[in-house]
Amino acid sequence: MSEIHTEHGHDGHGHEEHAGLDKKKIWQVFGILLLITVIEFFIALWVLPKGYMSHGVGNFIYIALTLLKAYYIVAYFMHLKYEKVGLQLALTLSFIFIIYFIVLMLIEGDYLHVHMPLV
């Protein structure tokens, strides 16, 4: 069994695609994620309670920043940025359909809750 593992070696096996993810890039992505988190805390703990922004706009900005953070985490730390475009597209479309169906179920659930008579 050990002969099988030593035959193939690890000389550049599958790492040429990940050449762009070095320590500098990891710290850069960490800094971006930290900055987005600080902005989110600033909005949630200071801007919204003081009334400088409406809750609708604040929630929209908060959701957009959270999705941006999710993109950076998935793209760089889960290495999706270095995958083939077909896999990226398949995962993205699947995610969009899942969110779409969740929204539809929430809307339908609210409709049934409002329009059905109480028994």
Residue-level pLDDT, tens digit, the chain, 119 residues: 555 555 445 555 455 555 567 889 889 999 999 999 999 999 989 999 999 999 889 888 988 999 899 888 888 888 777 778 888 788 888 888 988 998 888 888 777 777 776 66
- Predicted local distance difference test score (pLDDT) of residue 21: 75
Tokens for 64, please give them: 């957009």
What HEC string does the chain produce? CHHHHHHHCCCCCCCHHHCCCCHHHHHHHHHHHHHHHHHHHHHHHHHHHHCCCCHHHHHHHHHHHHHHHHHHHHHHHCCHHHCCHHHHHHHHHHHHHHHHHHHHHHHHHHHHHHHCCCC
Reported pTM: 0.61
- Boundaries of every domain in the chain: 21-82, 83-119
Cβ(54)–Cβ(39) under 8 Å? no
- Predicted local distance difference test score (pLDDT) of residue 40: 93
